């Protein structure tokens, strides 16, 4: 479409130049016959000059006019790398600054609009459905394990230096309760209960081997037997409780769990707990064992999510909808979330802004000079041809004005 419009406007501009030339020749031939012809000549002459000057200016952007190597022509071809560097800096400095991004996020109420969209059940289902469909392809990729390994390393490094306990405390106190929370964790409790029941014998054997020994063989056997019986009973009870909780979101187990999580969330936000957790956090997340554990957990979580994707989809859908409604109804929470998003995006722009600038510059360097020139010409060429048309008309009007002024002064 751009090519067709470009050719059409270019034809009009060239046609107008030819018309000015013909009109000039006719006026010059008959200017002695009537008082009007000198005016026509002045209009056509100035219009022709304007058209030729603007033709030169437009052509000089992309190539050497008439193939002549005139200095400061073929600007796009000759200055391709410099244009790319300038464009990269311009985008970096005027579009990707934290201030501009924050202003645009707030101005267009991005967070509120996203929450309003998620608050509608069909949209939350659509989002969770998209996640469900993409999970198998992502999890089964050959590069998944390598990606998880890199992710676990970076995650542990960030966790070691980030005060996650306060944010986690707020989130636990505010979100880890209610129907949506129970709907998400109930399938996991069912899996845990089933896993414990299937490994009951192994737990009993491990507990028996770790039972305190005495010099008396009889007492040692008795201690081992009691330890195995107690551990087996505890496993059976825990397994049964988890299974019952997975089938009944009103089970008393959830009330106790939510109360404990709420208390823990409150404690995590205190200054004393923050200092203690800071020391613990640095020590734990910097160890190789923790990184290996996080990697194994992410791998297992990925495969479990694929196996339970239908239940996960429904739980995520409900949680997204309820969470969006809750935040949208609270101006303070909405404002706080908006600021968190602005801060996050600003950090990303600051971290990757230079890389984005380099991306633009490298793309310009990689482009073939003639191909780039052709792309730009086809993209904005039609508008540039209007410069030629305007040059013809404005030049003609200026010619008329100068002719009139000349007549007024010199007669």
How does pLDDT run along the chain (411 residues), one tens digit per residue? 567 888 888 899 999 999 999 999 999 999 888 889 999 999 999 999 999 999 998 888 888 888 888 888 888 777 878 888 888 888 888 877 778 888 888 888 888 898 889 888 888 888 877 777 766 666 665 566 676 777 777 777 777 776 666 666 666 666 666 777 777 777 777 777 777 777 767 766 665 665 555 444 555 555 655 565 656 667 677 777 878 877 887 888 778 877 777 777 777 666 666 666 677 777 777 777 777 777 777 766 666 666 666 666 777 788 888 888 888 888 888 888 888 888 888 777 777 777 878 888 888 888 887 777 777 777 887 888 898 899 899 999 999 999 899 988 886
Same domain as 315, residue 232 = yes
In a domain, 354, yes or no: no
From 329, 348, 383, the end of a domain falls on 329
Rounded distance between C-alpha atoms, residue 316 and residue 300, angstroms: 18
Same domain as 227, residue 132 = yes
Distances (CA, A) of 323 to 152, 268, 293, 346: 27, 22, 30, 24
Residues constituting the chain: 411
Same domain as 156, residue 51 = no
From 329, 350, 385, the end of a domain falls on 329
- CA torsion 3-6-7-13 (nearest 10°) is 180
In a domain, 390, yes or no: yes
277 exposure class (CB count in 10 Å sphere: 0-12, 13-18, 19+): buried
From 277, 300, 329, the end of a domain falls on 329
**What domain count does the chain have?**
2
Res 215: pLDDT: 47
Same domain as 267, residue 154 = yes
In a domain, 358, yes or no: no
In a domain, 85, yes or no: no
Other beta carbons within 10 Å of 84: 20
Same domain as 373, residue 315 = no
Q: Is 214 left (phi over 0), alpha (psi -120 to 50) or beta?
A: beta
In a domain, 343, yes or no: no
Same domain as 375, residue 322 = no
pTM given for the model: 0.43
Res 23: pLDDT: 93
Same domain as 65, residue 132 = no
Q: What is the DSSP letter of 213?
A: P
Res 214: pLDDT: 46
Same domain as 279, residue 379 = no
- Per-residue burial over 210-240, b = 16 or more CB atoms within 10 Å of its CB, e = otherwise: ebeeeeeeeeeeebbeebbeebbeebeeebe
Same domain as 190, residue 125 = yes
Rounded distance between C-alpha atoms, residue 56 and residue 59, angstroms: 5
Rounded distance between C-alpha atoms, residue 79 and residue 82, angstroms: 5
Question: Is 369:84 a contact under the CB 8 Å cutoff?
Answer: no
Res 135: pLDDT: 66
Res 216: pLDDT: 47
Same domain as 290, residue 165 = yes
Q: What is the DSSP letter of 368?
A: -
In a domain, 136, yes or no: yes
Range of the domain at 146: 109-329
Same domain as 275, residue 208 = yes
Question: Is 265:169 a contact under the CB 8 Å cutoff?
Answer: yes
Rounded distance between C-alpha atoms, residue 277 and residue 223, angstroms: 38
In a domain, 350, yes or no: no
In a domain, 335, yes or no: no
Same domain as 377, residue 309 = no
């Amino acid at each position: 479409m751009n090519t067709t419009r470009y050719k059409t406007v270019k034809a009009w501009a060239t046609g107008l130049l030819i018309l000015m030339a013909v009109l000039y020749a006719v006026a010059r031939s008959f200017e002695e016959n009537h008082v009007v012809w000198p005016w026509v000549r002045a209009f056509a002459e100035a219009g022709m000059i304007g058209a030729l000057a603007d033709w030169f200016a437009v052509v000089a952007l992309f190539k050497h006019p008439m193939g002549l190597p005139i200095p400061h022509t073929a600007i796009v071809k000759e200055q391709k790398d410099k244009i790319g560097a300038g464009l990269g800096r311009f985008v970096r400095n005027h579009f990707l600054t934290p201030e501009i991004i924050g202003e645009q996020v707030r101005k267009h109420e991005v967070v509120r609009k996203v929450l309003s969209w998620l608050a509608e059940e069909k949209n939350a289902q659509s989002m969770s459905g998209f996640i469900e469909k993409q999970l198998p392809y992502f999890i089964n990729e050959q590069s998944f394990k390598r990606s998880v390994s890199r992710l676990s390393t970076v995650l542990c490094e960030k966790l070691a230096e980030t005060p996650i306990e306060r944010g986690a405390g707020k989130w636990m106190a505010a979100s880890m309760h209610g129907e949506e929370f129970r709907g998400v964790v109930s399938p996991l409790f069912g899996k845990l209960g089933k896993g414990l029941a299937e490994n009951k014998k192994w737990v009993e054997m491990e507990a028996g081997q770790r039972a305190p020994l005495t010099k008396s063989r009889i007492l040692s056997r008795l201690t081992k037997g009691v330890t195995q019986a107690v551990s087996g009973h505890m496993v059976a009870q825990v397994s049964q409780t988890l299974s019952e909780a997975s089938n009944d979101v009103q089970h008393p187990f959830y009330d106790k769990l939510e109360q404990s999580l709420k208390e823990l969330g409150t404690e995590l936000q205190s200054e004393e707990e923050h200092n203690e957790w800071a020391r613990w956090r640095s020590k734990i997340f910097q160890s190789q064992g923790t990184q290996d554990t996080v990697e194994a957990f992410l791998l297992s979580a990925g495969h479990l999510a694929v196996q339970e994707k239908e239940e996960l989809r429904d739980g995520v859908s409900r949680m997204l909808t309820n969470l969006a409604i809750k935040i949208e109804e609270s101006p303070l929470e909405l404002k706080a979330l908006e600021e968190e998003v602005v801060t996050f995006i600003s950090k990303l722009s600051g971290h990757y802004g230079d890389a984005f600038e380099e991306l633009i510059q490298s793309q310009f360097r990689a482009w073939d000079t003639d191909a780039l020139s052709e792309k730009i010409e086809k993209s904005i060429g039609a508008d540039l041809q209007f410069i030629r048309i305007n040059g013809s008309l404005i030049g003609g009007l200026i010619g008329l004005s100068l002719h009139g002024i000349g007549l007024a002064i010199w007669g």
